[in-house]
Amino acid sequence: MKLLIALYFFILATIQLGLLLGIYHYYHSKNLVKPSPYWLSSLIVSILGLAIFGGGIFFITDIARPDFNFTIANTFFYSAALLQLFFCRSLNQPISKQFKLFSLISVLVFAVVFELMRQYGNFEVRTVVMCVVAITFYTLQLSQLQLKRKQSPSSQILYLQYATMAEVGFALGRLSMVISLPYVMRNLDQIPQLLILFTIGQLVMNTLAYIAIGGYWAEKVALANAKSQMETYEIKALLEERESLIANLLRVNKTAATGALAASIAHELNQPLGASNLNLQFLKKKLDNASLDPQEQHQVLDALMADNLRASNIIKSLRSIFSDGKMIAEQVDIKELIDSVLVITKPEILLKNIQVVLALHSKSLINIDRTEIVQLLLNLINNAVQALSQSHAVPKTISIESHDVVGGVEFCIADNGQGIDQDAQSHLFKLLACSEKKAGMGLGLWLCQHIVIRHGGQIRYQAAEGGGAQFIVFLPLKQL
């Protein structure tokens, strides 16, 4: 008899232990929904209670006066039922600290009371108390489950209700049988088999209740994973839409950039082509009047060839820059280069009544692509001329300085115009940056920066003393 009853308890403890081990991995994984700590704690305490109770049966001689381990086992059963009630209550509302404290005190009180009953009571009294406690907890549990089902229907909660109702039924059966017994039991053989059946049935239903709770958690995990997967699909769709928008914006930006470059290149070529047109008109007029002498003819032809060469060099330079082609570097004196650029810009400078102040103190030769640096200087000087054409400063002045620095040459081109607004300074060197000037800036400061970077140098802007704009360029002696 002892062996059979102990075996029942060990089997149920093993089943519950298997359930606990089955969810251990998932508890420590990164699931979106963690199992309730009340449920897990209740399951662990129930396993301990079953194991201790089953082990104690082997050594029991008088069921009216069992050993102290039965107090421990029944305290675990009380705690397991209380924690299971915690789980059901937590489905509807958080467990307050006051309720937890009261429950902890009730566990201590139960342990003391049961120990007194173990020493001074009998089997029937203890069984009645345990049945009343079980019926009370299971009834409260059923009310919480019913409330949860009204708010959120769940098949697993329904199964848990059925298992709990069965527990109440078996507990009532035990209670009625113990009360109706005409004698006091002293050993296991005196316990009616139907009472043992009701006891084991109650424990089996309790195990099924734990399984139903596990099913409810698995149901929650499945719903959370499905929701997460749906959100993942939605995020993926949003990312794809974003990529499509970015691609469209890039195409639009490319179109705008192409238009800006086309307009800028047209402006760069406008000067030499405009000069060629004027010379051709002059040549045609002289030929029509038959008043062209050989000296004038040579001058006009030389000018046309120079403008032609200049236009060709601009195209070659731009082609090389935008294709990132290899630079054709040579040793150049920056002073000589600045002088040659001033010859090109001299007519427009004189036309705008601008004074040029030179302070060219550099003596080092730098290794550069002559055509590209000429383009750089032309852009910076033309920008200064355009700024001064809108200025009321008297006199209108462009200052050009150069001097040797560590590792290279630094030159500065400044004007005494209106300068550049603070807001515009942050995007001066961007390709599509807007200019304060009404006239074009060629390929603009973006091209200037591109050329300087190709040479391993640096370009920066700062306000000139007394107002105006000032661009400072550093070019190394040798490119890396």
Q: Where a domain ends, among 238, 262, 280?
A: 238
Residues 126 and 227 in one domain: yes
Is 99 a domain residue? Answer: yes
- CATH number assigned to the domain comprising residue 113: 1.20.1070
CB-based contact 126:174 (threshold 8 Å) = no
Say what the pLDDT of residue 439 is.
Answer: 41
Q: Where a domain ends, among 194, 212, 238?
A: 238
Residues 64 and 181 in one domain: yes
- Domain around 49: 2-238
Residues 74 and 215 in one domain: yes
How many domains, the chain?
A: 2
CB-neighbour burial class of residue 465 (10 A; exposed 0-12, middle 13-18, buried 19+): exposed
CB-based contact 359:400 (threshold 8 Å) = yes
Is 274 a domain residue? Answer: no
Is 426 a domain residue? Answer: yes
**Alpha carbons 476 and 478: distance in angstroms, whole number:** 5
Is 291 a domain residue? Answer: no
pLDDT tens digit sequence for 48-107? 999 998 888 877 777 777 889 899 999 999 999 999 999 999 888 888 999 999 999 999
Residues 459 and 333 in one domain: yes
Is 252 a domain residue? Answer: no
Say what the pLDDT of residue 113 is.
Answer: 93
Is 75 a domain residue? Answer: yes
The residues, ordered by sequence, that sit 6+ positions from 359 with a Cβ below 8 Å of its Cβ are: 399, 400, 401, 402
- CATH number assigned to the domain comprising residue 335: 3.30.565.10
pLDDT tens digit sequence for 313-344? 667 666 655 555 567 788 999 999 999 888 88
Q: Where a domain ends, among 238, 269, 303?
A: 238
Q: Could you give the angle at the alpha carbon of 57 between the alpha carbons of 52 and 58, nearest 5°?
A: 105
Say what the pLDDT of residue 320 is.
Answer: 59
Residues 45 and 162 in one domain: yes
Number of Cβ atoms within 10 Å of the Cβ of 93: 10
Is 269 a domain residue? Answer: no
Residues 233 and 338 in one domain: no
Is 303 a domain residue? Answer: no
Residues 230 and 343 in one domain: no
